[in-house]
Amino acid sequence: MSGKVGVTQQAAGLTTVTGEVTLPTWTYEGDESLVNPNNQALTIPANATIVEIGAEDGVCYFAFGGAASAASGGYMPDGGRELLGPLTAATLTGGIRVHAPAATVHVLYFSEG
């Protein structure tokens, strides 16, 4: 994904300013599908800085650096998708784990450049 978009900004009582913003370029780094993962660690490619997690046919929970369970802070409903990033070495200390007792979890990995 990449490109440019026009941006128009106007604060109350001020002149309109129009500019251009460059969107980042994402490079596909790989994917994996996990069926009913039980606190399973993701296999994150070395270059990945963005992770997209999606749940199919059930809910999914995820956690950074610890066990993933129904008590985890990360939650996706059936059909939901979540983008995580930008990821750094510090963010990934302990990795990312997923738990979905009755779902298939689809994970896509991207780098930003």
The per-residue pLDDT for range 7-45, each reduced to its tens digit, is 555 555 655 556 777 777 899 999 999 999 999 999 999
Is 70 part of a structural domain of the chain?
A: yes
Number of domains observed in the structure of the chain? 1
Is 71 part of a structural domain of the chain?
A: yes
Residues whose CB falls within 8 Å of the CB of residue 40, separated by 6 or more in sequence, listed in order: 34, 68, 97, 98, 99
Is 80 part of a structural domain of the chain?
A: yes
pLDDT of res. 15: 57
pLDDT of res. 1: 44
Is 15 part of a structural domain of the chain?
A: no
Is 32 part of a structural domain of the chain?
A: yes
The per-residue pLDDT for range 55-68, each reduced to its tens digit, is 999 999 999 989 99
Domain containing 63 — which CATH number?
Answer: 2.60.120
Is 98 part of a structural domain of the chain?
A: yes
- Pick the closest to residue 79 from 42, 113, 104, 109 (CA basis): 104
